[in-house]
Amino acid sequence: MSFEPAVATPAWSPEVAQRTAPLRERLQRVVPAIEWPVHAPWLDAIHELKRRRNAVVLAHNYQTPEIYHGVADVVGDSLHLAREAARVEADVLVMCGVHFMAETAKLLNPDKTVLIPDLEAGCSLADSINAADVALLRERWPGVPVVTYVNSSAEVKAASDVCCTSANAVEVVESLGVPRVIFLPDEYLGRHVASRTQVEVILWQGHCEVHERFSAADLRGLRASHPGLHVVAHPECPPDVLAEADFVGSTAGMVDHVRRAAPARVVLGTECSMADNVAVELPQVEFVRPCNLCPHMKRITLPKIHDALLHLRHEVRVPAPLVAPARRAVQRMLAVGR
Work out which of 123, 156, 194, 232 binds ligand SF4, going by CB under 6 A. Answer: 123
Q: Binding of ligand 13P at residue 152 (CB under 6 A)? A: no
Please give the angle made by the CA atoms of 86, 90 and 95, to the nearest 5 degrees.
65
Q: Binding of ligand 13P at residue 212 (CB under 6 A)? A: no
Least Å distance, CB 51 to ligand 13P, is: 28
- Strands (DSSP E) contained in 165-304 are 180-184, 200-203, 230-233, 247-248, 265-269, 286-288
Least Å distance, CB 96 to ligand SF4, is: 12
Non-local CB neighbours of 161 within 8 Å, separated by 6+ positions: 145, 146, 147, 176, 329, 332
Choose from ligand SF4, ligand 13P, none: what does 77 bind? Cβ within 5-8 Å by kind. Answer: ligand 13P
Strand order in the sheet with 162-164: 162-164, 146-149, 180-184, 200-203
Q: Binding of ligand SF4 at residue 241 (CB under 6 A)? A: no
Work out which of 63, 128, 148, 151 binds ligand 13P, going by CB under 6 A. Answer: 151
How many residues of this chain bind ligand SF4 (CB under 6 A)? Answer: 13
Q: Of 126, 150, 97, 154, nearest to 271 (Cα)?
A: 97
Nearer to ligand SF4, 208 or 222 (CB): 208
Non-local CB neighbours of 272 within 8 Å, separated by 6+ positions: 289, 290, 291, 292, 293
Q: Of 161, 164, 160, 162, nearest to 150 (Cα)?
A: 164
Work out which of 23, 210, 248, 285 binds ligand SF4, going by CB under 6 A. Answer: 210
Choose from ligand SF4, ligand 13P, none: what does 209 bind? Cβ within 5-8 Å by kind. Answer: ligand SF4
Q: Of 240, 276, 239, nearest to 255 (Cα)?
A: 276
Distance of alpha carbon 222 from alpha carbon 172, whole angstroms: 34
Q: Binding of ligand 13P at residue 165 (CB under 6 A)? A: yes
Work out which of 169, 194, 208, 232 binds ligand 13P, going by CB under 6 A. Answer: 208
Q: Binding of ligand 13P at residue 187 (CB under 6 A)? A: no
Nearer to ligand SF4, 138 or 213 (CB): 213
For ligand 13P, the binding residues in 38-77 under the rule CB under 6 A are 61, 77
Work out which of 187, 271, 276, 307 binds ligand SF4, going by CB under 6 A. Answer: 271
- Please tell me whether residue 162 adopts helix, strand or coil conformation: strand
Q: Binding of ligand 13P at residue 20 (CB under 6 A)? A: no
Residue 233 near residue 269 (C-beta atoms within 8 A): yes
Residues making contact with ligand SF4 (CB under 6 A): 98, 123-125, 151, 208-210, 236, 271, 294, 296-297
